[in-house]
Amino acid sequence: MLIDHENNNRGLTDTREALQVAKDASLDLVVVSQRKDAPVAKVLDYGKHQYQQKKRQRQSSKPTLKEVKLRPNVGDSDYGLRIKRALNWLDKGNLVKFQVRLRGREHQHRDRA
């Protein structure tokens, strides 16, 4: 299967003919999908294709910001659990933000928080 530079499907095409079409358009012949019955080849600018693939990959692998909310009157085991979860997120490449929330009279004992 051959798809030319104008996105027209030319169907099954001989390899030499496909290379000639790519050469006439001053572009590259790239195998897009390796199927069992007939591989799909496309006439395109390979450098531009690589750039767009890297751009998509960078965008999909951007780290996400995860939040861990803590309170001063929570037990040690809960703190340990939340810290363990934050470490797992850091290992996966995400960003972690810790937030200590105070309510009511807890503001008077900020040193405990």
Q: What proportion of the chain, given as a percentage, has pLDDT over 70?
A: 97
Q: What proportion of the chain, given as a percentage, has pLDDT over 90?
A: 7
For the four alpha carbons of 34, 37, 38 and 40, in that order, the dihedral sign comes to: negative
Could you give the CA distance from residue 109 to residue 95 in angstroms, rounded to a whole number? 29
Could you give the CA distance from residue 43 to residue 4 in angstroms, rounded to a whole number? 5
User: Does 89 score more than 70 pLDDT?
Assistant: yes
User: Does 113 score more than 70 pLDDT?
Assistant: no
Q: pLDDT tens, 7-21?
A: 888 888 888 888 888
DSSP state of 64: P
81 token code pair:
């659990």
CATH topology of domain 2-59: Ubiquitin-like (UB roll) (3.10.20)
CATH of 65-112 given 3.30.300.340, 3.30.110.10, 3.40.50.300, 3.40.640.10? 3.30.110.10
Q: Which amino acid is at 18?
A: A
Contacts of 33 (CB under 8 A, 6+ apart): 39, 40
Q: Evaluate if pTM is beyond 0.85.
A: no
Helix (H) or strand (E) holding 76: helix 76-91
Domain with CATH 3.10.20.80 in the chain: 2-59
Domain with CATH 3.30.110.10 in the chain: 65-112
* Residue 9 main-chain phi, psi, to 5 deg: -80, 120
